[in-house]
Amino acid sequence: MKYVIIGNSAAGVNAAEAIREKDPSGKITIVSKEDCGVYSRCLLSYYIAGSINEEKLLYRYNDFYKKRKIDALLGLSVESINTSKKEISLSDKKRIEYDKLLIASGASAKKLGIKGDDKKGVLCFRDLSDAKAVLSLLDKVRDVAILGGGPIGMRDGYALASRGKKVKVIIKSPRVLSQVIDETAADIVGSHIKENGMEVLTGVAVKEILGGDSLEGLMLDDSSKIACELAIVGKGVSPNTGFLEGSKIKINKGICTDNHLMTNIEDIYAAGDVAETVDISTGEAAINAIWPCAVRQGRVAGLNMAGGDTEYGGSMAANSIDLFALSVVSLGLSRPKGDRYKEESSVNLRDKRYRKLVFDGNRLVGAILVGDIEEAGVYGLLIEKKVDISDVRSDLLSAGFDFGKAVPLILNNKELFVEPEYGQMLNTIGKER
């Protein structure tokens, strides 16, 4: 059996390990455009902050491929897929045949698409090479602009502020983290980072990048200018699907998959940031481009590629960030619309603590935690396992609630034990370090 995996990050690596568990002798080939081994993208902001070195980024040790008998083709990109011939074409003009194929090609940072965005000092921060490019410029940089107020941009801004740089965050929306937390939480976070020296400009966008060959400043759409020597673009990501043109693989926002993570083409699977799956909270198709989802999707896809029959129950939005010792977690449907959902919250502005729970009938479907995130893992499992919380709903928000009462409800769902690694990661969300 010839297995080919496009992508060498969380989804691809976990798929390869799952395949090898079920098939000790099949040929596994991993193709990656990056020319390095497996590392954790989640930790890149800590790397540029100087909190960890490059070795600490490793997700698997360098002998991983040899031990698992994997042929790793690194530094090569996939140009196209011929689904009729069951082969892929690489950037070095070689072709590789497959019996089972996994597309775990991930996503790329969205670019600005404005005048001057190709100048030296304007960087998208997505992979290890981007991080090294940022580090190579730090000695010459005093002022940094972060373009975008989402989790990626905020982590990058915090990391560079930790390096002693003067950081301005430029956001078109009226508040930070507007896609993952609500107004109350954003007000707490925004005030907190300003108190710690990061400047936040809301309601404006960059119109033009100023300077010669190198970045010297930015012109905003309100005609104001700011000086900076480094600009990090944190505008989100787009799935890497360009090489699939003409392949007949169905694509919506990402690659469409069924509950076994197979695409509309037999023997071709998708997982990770490129895959569109059912969102547990809403029941609708979505891409939840986060590390735990990629890990679990990769494993499920790998098991099924090797002849298994493991169903994937769906993905769930989950974001965690720590800014100047203030922890923030957002889970599931955190900003609901419509009368179908009910919200309950508690807030203590003095202590910078906030909790909001979102309910759909007798199910918890979303949560926001600011300041105290100890029970994030329990909330996450209640959402992920679609637990009937009728018996404990009135107490879930209570500061004195015994979360041990929720554990039996979770344990009654046997699916919890299918992927224990995923449940373990949910229980440690917000503790990336």
DSSP letters of 341-380? -EEEEEEETTTTEEEEEEEETTEEEEEEEES--TTHHHHH
List 122's β-bridge partners, or say none.
Answer: 231
Radius of gyration from C-alpha coordinates of the chain: 22
The angle subtended at Cα 408 by Cα 403 and Cα 409, nearest 5°, is: 90
pLDDT tens profile 228-251: 999 999 888 999 999 999 899 999
Place of tokens 């609708």: 284
Q: Which two tokens stand for residue 173?
A: 């929306």
The angle subtended at Cα 106 by Cα 15 and Cα 292, nearest 5°, is: 60
pLDDT of residue 166: 97
Q: Beta strands 268-270 and 199-202: pairing type?
A: unpaired
CB count within 10 Å of CB 79 equals 14
pLDDT of residue 397: 86
Is pLDDT above 70 for 426? no
List 363's β-bridge partners, or say none.
Answer: 360, 388
Instruction: Tell me what the mean pLDDT of segment 266-290 comes to.
Output: 96
pTM: 0.91
Percent with pLDDT over 90 in the chain? 81
Residues with Cβ < 8 Å from 66, sequence gap 6 or more? none
Indicate the pLDDT class of residue 413, thresholds 50, 70 and 90.
Answer: low
- Reported in sequence order, the residue ranges of 155-253 that DSSP labels E, i.e. its strands, are 166-171, 199-202, 206-211, 215-220, 225-227, 230-233, 237-239
Distance in angstroms (rounded) separating the CA atoms of residues 359 and 228: 44
Indicate the pLDDT class of residue 407, thresholds 50, 70 and 90.
Answer: low
Question: Which CATH number is 122-235 given?
Answer: 3.50.50.60
Instruction: Tell me what the mean pLDDT of segment 97-124 comes to.
Output: 94
Query: Residue 71's Cα: distance from chain center in Å?
Result: 27
Distance in angstroms (rounded) separating the CA atoms of residues 378 and 346: 18
* 228-237, 323-332, 360-369, 412-421: range with lowest mean pLDDT: 412-421
Burial (CB count within 10 angstroms: exposed 0-12, middle 13-18, buried 19+), residue 84: exposed
Distance in angstroms (rounded) separating the CA atoms of residues 317 and 418: 20
Instruction: Tell me what the mean pLDDT of segment 156-176 comes to.
Output: 95
pLDDT of residue 399: 67
Q: Fold for domain 325-427?
A: Enolase-like; domain 1 (3.30.390)
pLDDT of residue 411: 65
Q: How far is CA 407 from CA 135, 142, 307, in A?
A: 44, 49, 33
List 209's β-bridge partners, or say none.
Answer: 218
Quote the CATH superfamily of domain 2-109+238-305: FAD/NAD(P)-binding domain (3.50.50.60)
- Reported in sequence order, the residue ranges of 294-340 that DSSP labels E, i.e. its strands, are 318-323, 326-332
Is pLDDT above 70 for 198? yes
pLDDT of residue 428: 42
pLDDT tens profile 354-381: 999 999 999 999 999 999 898 888 899 8
Ordered by start, the domain boundaries in the chain are 2-109+238-305, 122-235, 325-427
Indicate the pLDDT class of residue 396, thresholds 50, 70 and 90.
Answer: confident
Residues with Cβ < 8 Å from 337, sequence gap 6 or more? none
Amino acid making up residue 416: L
Same CATH fold assignment for domains 2-109+238-305 and 122-235: yes
Distance in angstroms (rounded) separating the CA atoms of residues 213 and 284: 45
pLDDT of residue 305: 98
Contact assessment for residue 88 and residue 80, using Cβ atoms and an 8 Å cutoff: yes
Contact assessment for residue 277 and residue 261, using Cβ atoms and an 8 Å cutoff: yes
pLDDT of residue 423: 44
The H or E element that residue 184 is part of is helix 183-195
Q: Which two tokens stand for residue 69?
A: 């008998």
The per-residue b/e assignment along 382-403, b for 16 or more CB within 10 angstroms, e otherwise, is bbbbbbbbeebbeebeeeeeee
pLDDT tens profile 122-143: 998 889 999 999 999 999 999 9
Phi, psi of 133 (to 5 degrees): -65, -40
pLDDT of residue 158: 95
**Which sign, positive or negative, has the C-alpha torsion 289, 54, 321, 373?**
positive
pLDDT tens profile 52-85: 999 999 999 889 999 999 999 999 999 999 999 9
